[in-house]
Amino acid sequence: MSRANMRKDDSLKSKLTKEAESRVTQSDLNSVPIKEADIKKELIDEATQ
């Protein structure tokens, strides 16, 4: 494989990796705060009983 092709391959890989990471973090951000809020609410409910 020539160097130019290797560079293309690397940039494509990093592009795909970044895309995948942004998808994961986006879906995580959408689901995690709800869970954290629920847990905090439960802890507060337990503490105030």
Contacts of 9 (CB under 8 A, 6+ apart): 1
pLDDT at residue 1 tops 80: no
Per DSSP, 1 falls in state -
2: left (phi over 0), alpha (psi -120 to 50) or beta: beta
pLDDT of residue 20: 78
What's 42's DSSP letter?
A: H
For 6-48, the pLDDT digits (tens) are 777 888 888 888 887 777 776 666 666 667 778 888 888 888 8
Write down the pLDDT at residue 33: 65
Identify the DSSP state of 49.
-
Residue 22 token pair: 């942004």
> Given this model, what pLDDT does residue 14 score?
86
